[in-house]
Amino acid sequence: MQSEYVIIGAGSAGCAIAYRLAEAGKRVIVIEYGGTDAGPFIQMPAALSYPMNMSRYDWGYQSEPEPHLGGRKLACPRGKVIGGSSSINGMVYVRGHAGDFDHWSDSGAQGWAYADVLPYFKRMEHWHGSETPSEWRGTDGPLHISRGPRDNPLTQAFTEAGAQAGYAVTSDYNGEQQEGFGAMEATIWKGQRWSAANAYLRPAQKTGRVEVVKALAQRVVIEDGRAVGVEVLRGGAKQVIWAEAEVIIAASAINSPKLLMLSGIGPAAHLAEHGINVIADRPGVGQNLQDHLEMYIQMSATQPVSLYKYWNLFGKGLLGAQWLFTRTGLATSNQFESAGFIRSRAGVPYPDVQFHFLPLAVRYDGKVAAEGHGFQAHVGPMRSASRGAVTLRSADPAAAPEIRFNYMSDPQDWEDFRTCIRLTREIFAQPAFDPYRGHEIQPGADLQTDAELDEAIREHAESAYHPCGTCRMGRADDVNAVVDPETRVIGVDGLRVADSSIFPRITNGNLNGPSIMVGEKAADHILGRTPLPPSNAQPKIAENWETSQR
C-alpha cells in the first residue's frame, strides 16, 4: 500500500491535516488502530463519561504511581477510536490565551505567536456563539462551536457569583477577553458531538482521496535518514504502508513520542537500553510532559434544581430516547455551560486558573455524589511548573509506555492549588448561591489549614486529561527540541509530528481546540504554503494585573 502522505492517528490534529491535504488534491492514508465512532455513547453529548471509561474507545493508560499524590496511579484516557480524543473528551472548546502562544514564539517556536495562530483558529471555526459577527471568530470553518442553553438556575448563578466576587464578566473567553466569567463553548452541533471525525475526516473521505486503514503502527520506516513509510500490524500480519512524500505522526502526547522512540528517534541511552538502533539522538523526545490537574469543589444544593433528578435509570433512559429520536433535550449538552478564567494573584499578567461549572455533584467516571442534589466547579492551576516524561516500557509496540506526570513536584503548585480551592469557596459564598447553597461535600468545610488542604489535594486531585509537550517544538539548533517550527522532526527528513505533543508549554484551558489548530497550521507547512497573514487584533489584558488579583 502506498500514498503521497501517511498520517498516524485519526485524532484531533490528524483529521484536520487529512482534510486540508485532500482539499489540496493530495492522496492520504490515515492509520488508526481504534474502531468506529458510531453510536450514542460517543455522539450524545450528555453521555460523555461513558466512552472515556470504555476499553473499546480508550487506550486505558495510567500514570506510574505519582510520588507527590500519595503514590496514586492516575487515569490518562486517550481516544482509541475514529476522531481520537475528540470523540471521548468533554467537548469543551477553549483556544488558549494569547499569552500562551506568544510564550511559544518566545521559547523558539517562531511563527506560532498569537498573531500567527489566530487566523488558523478563525479558519477552522464555524462559530454559533452570537447573532452578531465578531472579528475574533470564524464563521465558515468545518468545526462547529456552540453554547448550551444555560437554562439551569445554578449555571446562571455561577456567572453572577463571579461578578459579585469582583471579577469581570466576558461575553466570549475565546475572543478579545479571556479573563472573567461567562458562557462555556463546546464542539457540539445540532445536539451532537462535533468531533474532528465529524468536522474533518468524513468530508475528507468523501473526496475519495483519503483512506482510513485500521492497523497498529509499529514504527516509522527510515531509509538513509528519510522517513519512507510506516510498519503496521494489520489483521495479525506486518506490512509497510509507503509514503511517497511524508509521514506525519499525530498520535497524541503519549503515543507520538512512543512511536518516535520505537523508530530510533529519542534519547540515545534510553533507546539502547531497549535494544533500539539510534537513528537520531533527540534527548527531548518524551520529556517536558505537562497536564492540568484539577479538583472538584462540590456543594450540596438545598433545592432540587440540579441534574440529580435525572441521575437514575429511568431519567437517563428518558433523556436518551428524546435525544435518539429528536436530537433535543438535556442530552444535547455536555452540561458544562458556565466558565471562569481568573488570575490567582497580583503580578500574574493573564488567567492561570480555570473553572468548569457543573449543575451536578458527580465524578468524571459518572459516579454521582451520594448526597443527592448538588453542584460543583472543577478548578486547578493552568501553568504548573511540574514536568514529567513518557518513556518506553519495552521495545514491544503493543506495550503501554511508562507515563510519569510528576504532578505537584514544584512547591509553587501547592500554593497555587490551595489558592484555587479558597477562591472557589469565596465564589460559592456569594449571594447568587444563597437560595441553593447547602454544605460543602468536597473537600469539606472543616478543612481550612494549608496542611489540611494539601492532604485533600493529595487524595482527590484528578487529571483534567490534557497531556501535552512530549515532542516539544523549538529552534532547529535547540538540543531539547524535537520538531522545528514547521513541525519537521529535527534530524530526520520526510517526517513530522503535529498534535498536542509539540506544544512547548501547556495552554490555558482544554487542549482540543489548540490541537486542531496545530493540525490546521501544520497542513500549510506540509503543503509548502505561505502561512496565513498574521492578525493585528490586540487582546485585552487586565490593566491592573500588576497590582491586583481581580
* CA nearest to 9, candidates 491, 522, 364: 522
Q: What is the spatial distance between Cα 456 and Cα 3, in angstroms, rounded to a whole number?
A: 52
Alpha-carbon separation of residue 203 from 17, 196, 293 (angstroms): 12, 10, 35
* CA nearest to 378, candidates 431, 339, 416, 408: 339
- Residue 81 marked ligand-binding: yes
Strands 216-223 and 226-234: antiparallel
For 212, the grid coordinates are: 482510513
Task: Give me the residue label for grid cell 483512506.
Answer: 211
Q: What is the spatial distance between Cα 340 and Cα 357, in angstroms, rounded to a whole number?
A: 8
Alpha-carbon separation of residue 113 from 117, 174, 202, 271, 504 (angstroms): 6, 16, 30, 34, 12
- Residue 89 marked ligand-binding: yes
Determine which one of 126, 292, 466, 525 is catalytic: 466
Handedness of CA 29, 34, 35, 41 (dihedral sign): negative
Q: What is the spatial distance between Cα 383 and Cα 103, in angstroms, rounded to a whole number?
A: 12
Peptide linkage before 65 cis (omega within 30 of 0): no
> In Å, how far from its chain's centre is CA 174?
15
Q: What is the spatial distance between Cα 440 and Cα 299, in angstroms, rounded to a whole number?
A: 4
- Residue 91 marked ligand-binding: yes
Q: What is the spatial distance between Cα 167 and Cα 114, in angstroms, rounded to a whole number?
A: 24
Q: What is the spatial distance between Cα 264 and Cα 285, in angstroms, rounded to a whole number?
A: 11
Can you list the positions of beta strands (E) in 209-304? 210-214, 216-223, 226-234, 237-249, 265-266, 280-281, 293-301
Type and span of the H or E element at 157: helix 153-164
Task: Give me the residue label for grid cell 453521555.
Answer: 47
- Residue 90 marked ligand-binding: yes
For 376, the grid coordinates are: 460543583
Strands 338-342 and 437-442: unpaired
Q: What is the spatial distance between Cα 496 and Cα 333, in angstroms, rounded to a whole number?
A: 36
Q: Are 377 and 295 in contact (CB under 8 A)?
A: no
How many other C-beta atoms lie within 10 A of the C-beta of residue 350? 21
> Catalytic site residue 466?
yes
- Residue 124 marked ligand-binding: no
Strands 28-32 and 210-214: parallel
Q: What is the spatial distance between Cα 322 and Cα 92, in angstroms, rounded to a whole number?
A: 23
* CA nearest to 488, candidates 286, 280, 231, 290: 280
* CA nearest to 517, candidates 212, 263, 176, 141: 141
* CA nearest to 91, candidates 446, 424, 368, 332: 332
Binding residue positions for FAD: 81, 89-92
Q: Which residues are catalytic?
A: 466
